[in-house]
Every structure is written in C-alpha cells, then in structure tokens.
Structure 1
C-alpha cells in the first residue's frame, strides 16, 4: 500500500523563510515607493514656490513703487500748494485777488433802475478800500462788501424815487389847486364831471404853455396858496407812497449797516497783514491767473520762435 511521505520540517521552515523574505521585500518596496512619492510632491512644490518667488518679489516691488509714486504725488501736490501760497503771499499787497463768484456778481449785478455796472463797481471798490489798512481777504469778507454795496445802491435808488414820485403828482396837484381856487361845489354828477374835465385841461395847459403857467401861478398867489403851492400839494398827495418808500429806505439802511458791522468785526478779529486764506475760490482764482500768465508766455515764445524762423529763412 502506497504511503504519502511525511512533510519535511526543514522544507517547511525554508518555505516560510522564503515567504517572510518575500513579504519583507514587498513591504520594503512599498515603503520605498511611499518615500519616493512625497519626495516628488515636495520637489514639485519646491519648484512651484521657486517659480512663484520672482512673481511675488515683482509684485512687492510694484507695490513699493506705487506707494513711492503716491508719496511723491502727495509731496508734489503739497509743494504745488505751498508754491501757490508763496506766489499768493509774495505779491499779496499788489495782486487784485477776488473770488470767482464775486467777479460773476460784479459782471452781472442785480442793479436797481438807473444804476450802471460801472457805478456799482465804484461803490464796491469804495467800500472795500474804506477801512485802510484793512482790505477784504476772505470769501466771507468779499461777500459782505458786496452786500453792503448792493444795499447802498438800493438806498441811492430809493432816494432818487422820492423826487420822481413827488414830480409825478404835480399834474394832479394843479387839478386840485384849480378846484380850490374856484371853490365850486357841483350840484350834480354831470357838473362834477364837467368840472373835473376843465381842471384836467387847466393842468395840461399848465405844463404845456409857459404863459398859462405864469398866469396860473399868479392866480395861486392871489388866492393865498403861495409860489410853491404846486410842489407842496404834489408832496402832500405823494405822502402815502413816500411812506412806503421810507420803510424800504429804513430796511436798506439796516441791511447796509449790518453788513458794514460784520465787516468791521471780521477786520477786528485779524491783523491787516494776516496771510490771505487759501480758500477754494482763492486757489481757483490764483490757478486761473497763473494759467493765463503761462498761456501769454507760451504765445510770446511762439511768436519769438516764428520771428526767428522767418529771419533764418530770409537769410
């Protein structure tokens, strides 16, 4: 009978040893792969960081350059403001500074009837120079001077209205005086209308015919009214209108005096030699003046260059 041979203990031990060695080699290989993979990842990250380093450095340099550019721009702006301030102060006593909005108001002022822009400008200059050694420097001071000049012009117009209103009542005054001379009391409406019509004709002849005016004046003297009876009666008729004019005059005087007091308070709060405030209007006006001066210089330079070029061509 065939008997299966018994397993060799040595052979089993050798097989197990081979298996262990195989397993160990597989694990070692896996470990080597795992160790190699992180190295590759680290290499890629290192390469990426190496490539990004110049970009980050370049970005930082650009930011530094932008910051430096902004700082230089701010310094230039500060220097330009200081230059403007220096230019403004260098000839402050001779420069005819005036805010733009005041210039516009003076070019087209809201004038009362009979007032011209030239006369209003003369009033403005007179008030501005009326408190030597002070003169308006700030925008508020210029506006106060403008308001005072405007109320002064209004007051002058109201004063002229007094004589004009009285003169407008002179014809009606002649009619009233003619009725007083006759001392007639109409008995009906028709007689009253006829009498009114005759009085109007007398008044028209009084202003149209010098001889009739002398005759009527003589009748007034004989009637006891005097030589100035017409003007006196005209003033009496104009009194209601003159009272309204007087109220308007008082308002204009009050506004003018208030503007002048504000100007005096402003002058009292500073020295006459105080630096001219750099308001927005002052800067804008100064820049416009400097721009105009540079434009004139540029045009003069172009004319000189054209003249030299023409002389060179002729030669």
Structure 2
C-alpha cells in the first residue's frame, strides 16, 4: 500500500477506522535513513552510557550521597527512560523500513513520554528547592532535606506526573481517527494527534493548556522564586570566591531548566499559535479567564 493510499480517509466502527499511524520521522528521503540511523544510535548510546555512568558514580561514591546527587541520580534514570521511549522504536523503523506504529503502541508511547517528562519537571523543581535550602537556610538544611523528605518529593513527583499522563492519554483515546493517519514526527505526541483527529479537539486543547499551566507553570514559578532568593543571598556574600562557588553549584541546574522548559514551551506553543485561533476555543478560554477574574 502506497503512502498516498494510506493518507486517504478511512471509515470504521465508532468513526475510528485506522489501527495504525505512519510516522514520517525526521527525514522523508530513504537515502538519508542510514545516516540518521547512525547519528541517532550514536547519540542514544552516548546518552544512555553517560547517564548510567553518573548513576553508578553516585551509587558507589559515598561522598555523593547527598540530596542534590540523589535527585541527579533520579534525573539520570529519567533521561534514559525518556530517550528509550522514543529513539529505539525510531531506529527499529529505520532498520525495517516500516514507518507504521499501531494505535495502541502510539498511545502507550504518549503515556510513558508524558509520565517521564512530568517527573523530570517536578524533580528539577525539587533540586531548585534543595539549592534554596542549602544556600539560604543552611542551618536547617539537614532537617528540611532529610532522606524522608527526599523520598516524599520523588514519590509526589511520580504521582502528579502519572495523573497528568493518564489524563491526557484517556482524553486522546476518546478522539476519533478516521484518516489521514500520517504523523509528521518521529514519535507520538499530543499536538500531532490533535491535528489528525476527525472529531473536535477543543476540550483536549483546553485540557492540555489548563493542566500544562499547573504541571509546568507552577514548578517553573517555584524554580524562579527559589533562585531569586538564592541570587539575593549570593549577592550578599562579600567574598568574590564565595560568590563564584555558590553560583557554580546552581549554574548547571539553571542551564538544564532553561533547555527543558524552553524546548517544551516552543513545542506546545506552536500548537497554541495554530489551533487557538479557533473562535470557539478562544471563547471558551475567555469565559474561563473572565470567571476567574470575577471571583478574584
């Protein structure tokens, strides 16, 4: 069956006729697939290897058994999970020259991707809180960042991310997909699936932005607040060497936060710029905001 034939609308029971999606990947030219395969295989091996090395070093070296490295070890595991959810399946499709992914596998990939990214988001917030306590309130640091608190922060992160991922996955499963079935990406995600739905996605889009505000906006606000206090405390340090040391412990974390949120905002704001021009969606958002302001 040709790609053009697959792109034609299909019909089926309950309006959902397709049982698989076509992932176009990063390049559509078959001649470039071997190059893409080698590059992504190398990047995958380097990413997994480096993160597992970090995790091994944290587990073996007793000096690294601190809250900051505890969270860093968890982030390493999450990074391996995130890239494993998306890249190996893409590499498999490049090897087999088969661009399709079953409907159920697409939703499974969507769920685990949002689960792991969600935990990542909250753990970055926990690390910012850790730096705030270490620099601004060092006398109470050991009490406020005990092992029990660390485990609770990780458990809450997983619980919130699980709820978010399950909500979006269930919401997407209620949509009808009757064709075309071509996803212009190398993995399944919400914006691309919304574009393929032959039923209304207004509620899904509102849910994405509402939950996204809670899942991403709140942690980002906490990160900014934490580092505002950290910056104020560091600037009060008279020693230049002391300032450099304090900032060096936060610089790498801030870089990760900027890349993480920057890429996420760019990806999902593209959905907003295209789909929120719909007058019905705009009206619904306006009613929500107006109701909030009236209650304020």
Q: TM-score, normalised by structure 1?
A: 0.23
Bigger radius of gyration among the two:
1
TM-score (structure 2 length as normaliser) = 0.24
